[in-house]
Amino acid sequence: MIPFYIRFLIMAAIWAGLFFFIENTARPIYLFSCSLSFAAYFLLAVTERKLILYSLMMLNLPLIAIYLDRSAWPFLLLAAIFYLYEAAQSIRPAAFYSLLGGTALLAAFTMIFLRPSVIAVTLAIAALSVGYAACIGLNSARCRLEELRELFDQVLEEYRKAKRVALKNEGAARAEERTRIARDIHDSVGHKLTALGMEMQSMLLKEHNTSIARMKHSVEECLEETRRAVRALKSEAIEGIPAIIQLVRKLESESSLRIRFTTKQGVLSLVLPNIHSIALYRIIQEALTNCLKYSESREVDVILGVSSVGGVSFEIRNAFHSPGPIHESFGLKSIRERVHVAGGTVQIYCDGSQFVIMGSIPVKGDKN
C-alpha cells in the first residue's frame, strides 16, 4: 500500500491543479469544496462510516466542475479515480460497488447538465472505465488478502495450540521415561547393592576382614552414587542456557510474542554456577514478561553472548516509544537486584524507538 504522505501529496497536487482553472468569482466555492474534501479525507481514519465520507467527496466534484474550464476536467477525473482507489482499499465490496454505481450516475448527470463535446465524453468514459476496472481489481485483491490473513491467523492459532499440546506431551513423555528408568535402577541395582552391603556387614560381624571392609565401603559408595543418579533422573529441573531456550519456546507457544533468540559463539559452552544460572533465567523471564505487559510490538530480540571478561552477556530489545523518563516497575527493580546479587552489571534504557535491557553476569562463583 502507498504510504499516507504520498497519497496526501497526490490529493494536494490534484486540488492545487484545479486552483489554476477556477474563476476568480468562484474562489470561495473552491476553498469550501477543497476544505470539505480534505476534512472528509482526514475523518476516514477515525470513523467506520467511510462510505458516507467517500460519497460526500464524490458529490463535491460536480459542484466544483460547474465553475471550472473544461480543460481542467482531467483533474476532476484524476480526483474521482483517486477517491475510488482509496475506497477500494478501505471499504467492503458491497459498499464499494454502491459507490461505483453512484459515481457512474453522478458522472452521467454531470455530463448531461454541462453538455461537453463528444471527444470529451469519450475520453471521460474511457478514463473512468480504466479507473473503475483497476479499482474493482484492487478491491477484490484486498478482500482476498483479508481472507487469507484471517485464514493465516486461524492456522497460526491452531499451530500454537498443537505446539502447546506437543510440548506438554513431550514433557510428560520425557518425565515418564525418566521416572521409569529411575524406578528400574532403584528396584534392580539399588536393591542388589543394598543386599550385598547387608551381607558384607553380616560377614564383618562374624569375622573382621580388611578386604571385606574395603569392599563394603566401595559398595556403599556405589549405592550412594546410584541414589544420586536416581534423584537426578527424577528431577525435571533444567539449568543454564537450555532452561532459557525452553522458556523462550514456552512463551512463544503460550503468548503472542515473536522472539528472535540469538546465541553468539561460545555462550553455549559456558558452565554457569547454580545461583548465576537461576539469576539469568529469572532475568530473561522477567524481561519477557515486561515486554508482554508494556511493549508496543509483539516482536522481541533476546541475545546471549560472552562478555569481555568471560561471563555471559544478555540483551533484550523491543519496540517502545516514551517521551519522558522511564519509570522502573517492580519487575525492572527485581532484575537490577538479581544482577547485583549475582555480581553482574545491568543497564536499562530507551534509545528513542526501543526499550533495552543489557547486562552481564560472571560465571565464576559458587559451584553448588
Q: What is the pLDDT of residue 368?
A: 35
- pLDDT digits over 97-150, tens only? 777 777 777 766 666 665 554 444 445 555 555 655 666 666 677 677 778 888
Distance from C-alpha of 9 to C-alpha of 92, rounded to nearest angstrom:
25
Beta bridge partners of 68: 22
Superfamily of domain 241-361: Histidine kinase-like ATPase, C-terminal domain (3.30.565.10)
For the cut 70, the answer to whether the pLDDT of residue 256 exceeds it is: yes
- pLDDT digits over 270-291, tens only? 777 767 777 888 888 888 888 8
91 grid coordinates: 471499504
Query: Band of the pLDDT at 174, cuts 50, 70, 90?
Result: low
Q: pTM for this one?
A: 0.39
Q: Where exactly are the structural domains of the chain?
A: 4-116, 241-361
Q: What is the pLDDT of residue 362?
A: 86
Distance from C-alpha of 52 to C-alpha of 59, rounded to nearest angstrom:
10
- Concatenating the DSSP letter of every residue in 61-85 gives HHHHHTTB-GGGHHHHHHHHHHHHH
Q: Please state the rounded mean pLDDT for residues 9-19.
A: 85
| Most confident option among 49-63, 224-238, 271-285, 304-318 | 304-318
Q: What is the pLDDT of residue 118?
A: 42
**Taking CA 160 as the corner, what is the angle to CA 157 and CA 161, rounded to the nearest 5 degrees?**
90
